[in-house]
């Protein structure tokens, strides 16, 4: 069995069981213990599982990277996603741009000649939006320094006042059931942006697939995913 199929089978098995033993996995995959160990090490480094004594569990609440660290990883994939997203703007005039490093790259496809207005809770976007002279509205709320996000009750109240032609949403993880983030306050703001948008897209590269956080943003069928492939 090739590596990709083994990894998919490990993840699908863990999604069905709270914990799976190494013995069960070696039998299911028909591989040696050393091969299984390498596969589990690979998945753990990706943040998708946690190895425990005698087996593995799905990583339900992995740690959240701060913005500066997150900005440095999977840069090619994020650029490809941003290019796809930029091509979807069309005649949208009122756009919600979520915080995050992937959403940030969409700004490379915006300029002052476009008849648009941006609403955002992402402080990382401000400098580039100013430099491009794009009309922008910053949502009210509390600053979360590690991820440069504005969030909280005031943010939810603020975003509830607007309707969007288009919303671009970031996520920390996704699976066949839904899209997830590490912060419940951020999750409700993202969900409200999706609800208030005529068109909404979640931007997430394939490294986030099968990573599940505590807070769900939306069900998989409720919003379209843009990733670097497919």
Is the confidence at residue 62, as pLDDT, over 70?
no
For residue 49, what pLDDT is reported? 87
Q: What is the mean pLDDT of residues 141-149?
A: 96
Residue 116 pLDDT more than 90? Answer: yes
Average the pLDDT over 125-137 and give the result. Answer: 97
Does the predicted TM-score (pTM) go above 0.95?
no
Does the structure show a pLDDT above 70 at 61? no
Distance (Å, rounded) from C-alpha 190 to C-alpha 100? 12
Residue 134 sits at the vertex; the CA angle it makes with 129 and 139, to the nearest 5 degrees, is 65
* CA atoms of 105 and 74, how far apart (whole Å): 12
């Amino acid at each position: 069995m090739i590596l990709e199929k083994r990894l998919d089978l490990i993840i699908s098995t863990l999604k069905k069981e709270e914990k799976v033993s190494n013995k069960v996995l070696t039998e299911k995959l028909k591989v040696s213990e050393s091969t299984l160990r390498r596969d589990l090490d690979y998945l753990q480094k990706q943040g998708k599982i946690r190895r425990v004594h005698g087996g593995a569990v799905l990583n339900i609440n992995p740690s959240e990277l701060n913005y500066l660290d997150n900005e440095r990883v999977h840069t090619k994939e994020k650029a490809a996603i941003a290019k796809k997203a930029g091509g979807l703007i069309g005649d949208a005039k009122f756009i919600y741009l979520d915080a995050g490093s992937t959403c940030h790259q969409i700004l490379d496809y915006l300029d002052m000649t476009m008849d648009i207005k941006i609403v955002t809770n992402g402080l990382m976007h401000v400098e580039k939006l100013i430099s491009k002279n794009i009309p922008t509205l910053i949502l009210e709320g509390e600053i979360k320094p590690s991820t440069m996000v504005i969030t909280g009750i005031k943010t939810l109240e603020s975003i509830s006042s607007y309707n969007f032609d288009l919303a671009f949403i970031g996520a920390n993880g996704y699976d066949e059931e839904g899209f997830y983030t590490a912060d419940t306050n951020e999750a409700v703001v993202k969900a409200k942006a999706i609800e208030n948008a005529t068109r909404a897209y979640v931007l997430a590269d394939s490294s986030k697939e099968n990573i599940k956080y505590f807070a769900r943003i939306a069900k998989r069928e409720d919003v379209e995913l843009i990733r670097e492939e497919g």
